Amino acid sequence: MSAAAARAVDASMGLRPSAHAVRRAEPEWCPWENLRQIADQRRWYLLRVTPGCEKRAVTALREAGLDALIPVDALWRWRSAIDRARGGEKSLSHIPALPGYAVVGFDGPWDAWVRALTARHVTGFVGVGGAPRRLSTDDMMRIAALGRAAPRAWRRMLRGAEFGVGDRVTMLVGPLTGWIGRVVSVDEGHGRALIDMDGGAPGAVWAALDNIGCI
C-alpha cells in the first residue's frame, strides 16, 4: 500500500465510532467471514474511483468478471426530512468507509488490468513509481476493518448523538433538560435507556432514546 493510501486509511479509522458502540459490518460489499481466504487467493490492488460512486464502481468491476469490494459503514439514517419530522424509525444504509477508493482482485490474464481500468467510475490505481502496488493480506484486513455496523438501537437515536452503555449523555427533552448522566443500560425493545444522573438529580431515570444525546 502506498503512503498516501495508508494515510487515507488512517484518517478514516480516526473517524469511526467508538469500539464499544459498534460491531463489524457484514454486507455484500465486503464479505468478512471468508475475507482472509479470499485475500490469499487473488492479487489485490487499490483503485481510485469517482467519489460518491464507490458502490457503482464495485458493481461495474464485478460485471467485468473481477472480484471487487469496499469497506462500508452500516448506519441508521432517515430516508427524508419528512420521516425524521414524523418521528419514524431510520433505515439501514451502507455508506462507503473509504471514499474515493475500491479494492479489485484477479488472478488471470493480462487483460484483467484493462477491464479494471476501463470499468465505469474507475479513474486509476494506487501505486509507487507509476506501477500498481499489490496489497498484502494484512493490508486487505486493515482496509476491510474500516467498515462498521451500528447497533440496532441507533435507529431510534438522533443522528450524530448516538450512544452506548457507559457513555455520558445529556437530557434533551422534559423537566431534566440539560442534566447530565451516564448510560447504565439500553432497552432497545422499548426504545429507552436507563440514565444514572449526576449532580443530585433523582437517581437513575428512564428516557426515550431520541430524547438523549451523547456528549
* Annotation: CATH topology of 155-214: SH3 type barrels. (2.30.30)
Overall pTM surpassing 0.85 (yes/no):
no
Task: Identify the pLDDT of residue 49.
Answer: 96
Task: Identify the pLDDT of residue 88.
Answer: 64
Strand segments (E) across the chain? 23-24, 43-49, 67-69, 72-77, 91-96, 101-106, 122-125, 127-128, 131-132, 134-135, 148-149, 168-171, 180-187, 192-197, 204-208, 212-214
**What grid cell was written down for 105?**
482482485
Q: CA dihedral defined by 83, 86, 88, 90, rounded to 10 degrees?
A: 40
What distance, in Å, lies between the first and last C-alpha atoms of the chain?
36
Query: Is residue 14 helix, strand or coil?
Result: helix
Query: Is residue 11 helix, strand or coil?
Result: helix
Query: Is residue 64 helix, strand or coil?
Result: coil
**Parts of the chain with a pLDDT under 50:** 1-27
One fold for 3-150 and 155-214: no
Query: Other CB atoms closer than 10 Å to residue 37's CB: what's the count?
Result: 10
**What grid cell was written down for 100?**
474515493
Helix or strand (DSSP H, E) at 26: none
Task: Identify the pLDDT of residue 46.
Answer: 94
Dist CA 2 CA 132 (whole Å): 9
Task: Identify the pLDDT of residue 56.
Answer: 94
Task: Identify the pLDDT of residue 87.
Answer: 62
Domain 3-150: give its CATH architecture.
Answer: 2-Layer Sandwich (3.30)
Task: Identify the pLDDT of residue 45.
Answer: 92
Residue-range domain boundaries for the chain: 3-150, 155-214
